Structure 1
Amino acid sequence: MANNLHEEVRQILDSAVAEDGVPGIVAEVHDAGETWFGTAGVADLATGRRRAPGEHIHVGSSGKAFTAATVLALAAEGRLSPEDPVSTWLPGVVEAGGYDGGKITIRQLLNHTGGLFLTGLAPELQQSMVTDPARVWTTSELLKLAVSQPPVGEPGERFVYANGGYYLAGAIIERVTGNSYAAEVERTVIRPLGLTRTYVRPADATGYPHPHPMAYVAGALKDGVDPATLTAENWASMIDHDKPPIDVTALNTSWGWAAGGVVSTTGDLSRFLKAIATGDLLPPAQHREMWTMVAGDGVVWLPHARYGLGVIEFDRAGMAGLTVRGVSGTLPGSFTLALTTGDGGRRVVIHANTEPKTMDIPIRIIKAMYGVSLG
């Protein structure tokens, strides 16, 4: 059965390269006490270097789970509560954008129900990635970015994926502890789990430790498109996938910070996911907090997926009675998906060194790993 699973996953990886134009993709599978690692394509288009185990990868928004786990660790220490209003720790910060910091809780920042707008498509951020890719964003600039557009709803009203909520959560971590966000993630998550190849990427970083794959943007903006005109509704239609891949390995990612600034490996990410999925990292009360899902189906990019605090879970009906939990992240030149059964017994981490054009690859991986089709 293991051999059949591995062969099916390998075929999906090969298809991603041959049919979807992914430069290179890897999958690390843990099942029945065994580990299997598969690759397809290359880590570097210029040299033809193959992808390999142990590469350092930027995990993008999978880093949100590290932030949420750090907040919950501080809650377990009695230093804050997820029900604390933002204004308790950051008075006046969100009010500058017309928000009410007395009504938005830390929990709502972490489950994207605080009413903040979709920060990732803020015009100034999109423009900077095109015109000034080396720009280093400061914490104060990110906090201003988080509230640079009006609220999209009342706190608790609906789910809108907002990196800005995690910028605020990172700032709260620093205000509560007096330490840097990176230092607290190290103290509460990385060190306890022995994640020796995982770190929060420094704001001014220009590279990654070796080995690492190069990062490629599969399609650039169509000629004549103004980045300031991008919206959640039109951005996909503005991409020209026929343009050759662009090497964005040196892109500054300081805009990710507490919303997605973690560098890891497939092995470390698998260990992290198992720990947060099974309750090995957090005390029982905080573990339950992390996996309390936002009501309603389809609030994230995969069918039957719901969002907790930095994590995703598939409803049991959609997964044929299984509990399947995970994290995922996309940023220019990188896509990561990590999934596990609730007991941590069957896990998979995939990474592609470009963003996927469709959700076909993760949906096929889910079917192979867990025997269900997300139609």
Structure 2
Amino acid sequence: MPGFRLPVSFLRFFAAMSAALLAASLGGCTGSPDPPEQPTASATAFAELENFGRTMIDDGAPAVLMQVRNKGEEWSRAIGVRSLETREPVQPSDPVEVASVTKSMVAVTVLKLVEEGRLGLDDAVSEHLPDLGRVVHPPFPVTVRDLLSHSSGMPDYAAKLIASRPLKEVINTRLSLTQRLAWAGRTTWEKRLAQGFEYSESDYVALALLVERLRGQPIGDVISEQITGPLGMSGTFMIGARTTPSGIAHGYLVIEDQRVDVTSPAVLTGSPSGGLVSTVQDLNTFYSALMQGKLLSPATLKEMQTPNTAGFYGLGLWIWNDTCTNGFAYGHPGDLLGYGTVSMTSADGTRQVTVALTYPPAPFILGDNPLVLEMMDVAEHTLNSMC
């Protein structure tokens, strides 16, 4: 999700229907069977999400997928179509591209190496990747923690790559991890007196190289072995690792005045900064397991949750206010090539909201898509409505 610099604005997307109207409306919606009757305590939150999804469809989004979990209750919703060509109704369990949500899983694979003593958070990356300096020319020693928290200052390879050639050509270009960093190396890495938060896709490419060097496996295989396999996340995989499922929700861009299907683009094959396909259910499963100590030790999880100087990003985790506990919620947004996703969970993993959207077809935006900011707002408000 290149370009994010500031915490989410505090716009609020209020529900426009009561629980009774929600129950009445569900029967006629496109995309999935009628969900079971929901408890009154959660009805307002579900109504807000339903209204958000309807608004997105009215604005031209092909599909919206949502799942809420609240202390054992589950509510799933899918509105729209899998593909604008086939018009087949989308289902709640359909996979979508989740862009930068990928970073949270890559961060877990790095932190597992820290727990094993094979890596230190404050190790210089050059100790483990001696060739990194030759490729990206860092002006000062960079640590593992710097990469995880986006405070390294490394130039963003994606910005340079996208500006280099026509977008269709970029989308159809397959790159190795080293080739991605080589694009970052074409921009001078500036030395600053105080290096703060600077979101860069390159940080997580370097981290994936580190994991691959120490594990001897591709990063997608490590994620599968350590996270998605043990947690039963069968709908989650790296683009290029398997044939694109027929039920995937398709993403679109407008390029040279033509609508183009950009589902499973070659440029995201194996990308540790944004190449995962997943489902709203799988993302809730992942973040719940993470918060409940099923993937990392309490001490390591605390490190992951500790915000950097910007105050809203930890080690592969975005941080939001949780007014139910006067504490914080954790997760990650994703925004890339026709897709937007937000997955958010309470610190105890019992309240969760995941929303995935295939954007209304439009020209590519390099930077913040306003829709993902709106998704973050509605997800945060929903989570805070489930006290």
Which TM-score tier does this pair reach, normalised by the shorter chain?
Answer: 0.7 to 0.9
- 1:123 is displaced (CA, Å) by 4.1
Equivalent positions of 1:262-277 (< 5 A) are: 262-277=276-291
> Which of 283, 299, 313 is residue 307 of structure 1 equivalent to?
313
> Structure 2 CA distance, aligned partners of 1:124 and 1:190?
30
Residue 122 of structure 2 contacts residue 144 of structure 2 at CA under 8 Å; is this kept in 1? Answer: yes
| 2:84 aligned residue | 45
- 1:43 is displaced (CA, Å) by 1.8
Residue 216 of structure 1 contacts residue 245 of structure 1 at CA under 8 Å; is this kept in 2? Answer: yes
- 1:320 is displaced (CA, Å) by 7.9
Equivalent positions of 1:206-217 (< 5 A) are: 208-217=244-253
Residue type matched to 2:106 in 1? T
Is 1:11 aligned with 2:66?
A: no
Residue 96 of structure 2 contacts residue 250 of structure 2 at CA under 8 Å; is this kept in 1? Answer: no
> Structure 1 CA distance, aligned partners of 2:172 and 2:80?
28
| 1:147 aligned residue | 185
Query: Could you list the runs of 5+ residues in structure 1 that have no partner in the other structure?
Result: 224-242, 298-305
Residue type matched to 1:4 in 2? T
* Root-mean-square deviation over aligned CA pairs: 2.5
Report the 3-state secondary structure (helix = DSSP H, G, I; strand = E; otherwise coil) of the residue aligned with 1:25.
Answer: strand
> Which of 226, 235, 247 is residue 197 of structure 1 equivalent to?
235
Is 1:331 aligned with 2:345?
A: no
Is 1:293 aligned with 2:307?
A: yes
Is 1:119 aligned with 2:142?
A: no
| 1:341 aligned residue | 346
| 2:108 aligned residue | 69
> Structure 1 CA distance, aligned partners of 2:271 and 2:215?
17
Residue type matched to 1:293 in 2? P
| 2:143 aligned residue | 105
Give TM-score, length-normalised by structure 1. 0.82
Report the 3-state secondary structure (helix = DSSP H, G, I; strand = E; otherwise coil) of the residue aligned with 2:229.
Answer: helix
Residue 146 of structure 1 contacts residue 165 of structure 1 at CA under 8 Å; is this kept in 2? Answer: no
Equivalent positions of 1:20-59 (< 5 A) are: 20-59=59-98
Give TM-score, length-normalised by structure 2. 0.80
> Structure 2 CA distance, aligned partners of 1:24 and 1:244?
20
> Structure 1 CA distance, aligned partners of 2:186 and 2:136?
6
Report the 3-state secondary structure (helix = DSSP H, G, I; strand = E; otherwise coil) of the residue aligned with 1:211.
Answer: coil
> Structure 1 CA distance, aligned partners of 2:193 and 2:303?
18
Equivalent positions of 1:154-169 (< 5 A) are: 154=192, 157-169=195-207
> Structure 1 CA distance, aligned partners of 2:306 and 2:269?
27
| 1:247 aligned residue | 261
> Structure 1 CA distance, aligned partners of 2:240 and 2:260?
23
Quick one: structure 1 residues 71 and 196, their matched pair in 2 at CA, closer, same or farther if it must change by over 3 Å?
A: same
Report the 3-state secondary structure (helix = DSSP H, G, I; strand = E; otherwise coil) of the residue aligned with 1:336.
Answer: strand
Residue 55 of structure 1 contacts residue 210 of structure 1 at CA under 8 Å; is this kept in 2? Answer: no
Residue 95 of structure 2 contacts residue 279 of structure 2 at CA under 8 Å; is this kept in 1? Answer: yes
Quick one: structure 1 residues 280 and 250, their matched pair in 2 at CA, closer, same or farther if it must change by over 3 Å?
A: closer
Quick one: structure 1 residues 97 and 291, their matched pair in 2 at CA, closer, same or farther if it must change by over 3 Å?
A: same
> Structure 1 CA distance, aligned partners of 2:98 and 2:269?
14
Query: Could you list the runs of 5+ residues in structure 2 that have no partner in the other structure?
Result: 1-40, 361-368
Report the 3-state secondary structure (helix = DSSP H, G, I; strand = E; otherwise coil) of the residue aligned with 2:355.
Answer: strand
Report the 3-state secondary structure (helix = DSSP H, G, I; strand = E; otherwise coil) of the residue aligned with 1:351.
Answer: strand
Kindly provide the CA deviation profile for residues 181-213 of structure 1, in whole angstroms up to 9, marking residues without a partner as x: 22222222222322222222227x7x5213211
Quick one: structure 1 residues 314 and 152, their matched pair in 2 at CA, closer, same or farther if it must change by over 3 Å?
A: farther
Kindly provide the CA deviation profile for residues 44-88 of structure 1, in whole angstroms up to 9, marking residues without a partner as x: 112221111211211111000111000001111121112111111
Report the 3-state secondary structure (helix = DSSP H, G, I; strand = E; otherwise coil) of the residue aligned with 1:83.
Answer: coil
> Which of 318, 340, 363 is residue 377 of structure 2 equivalent to?
363
> Structure 2 CA distance, aligned partners of 1:192 and 1:198?
12
> Structure 2 CA distance, aligned partners of 1:257 and 1:2?
37
Residue 99 of structure 2 contacts residue 339 of structure 2 at CA under 8 Å; is this kept in 1? Answer: yes
Report the 3-state secondary structure (helix = DSSP H, G, I; strand = E; otherwise coil) of the residue aligned with 1:122.
Answer: helix
Kindly provide the CA deviation profile for residues 63-118 of structure 1, in whole angstroms up to 9, marking residues without a partner as x: 00111000001111121112111111111323443314x61001111111111123
- 1:152 is displaced (CA, Å) by 3.8
- 1:256 is displaced (CA, Å) by 6.2
> Structure 2 CA distance, aligned partners of 1:308 and 1:256?
24
| 2:224 aligned residue | 186
> Structure 1 CA distance, aligned partners of 2:220 and 2:165?
27
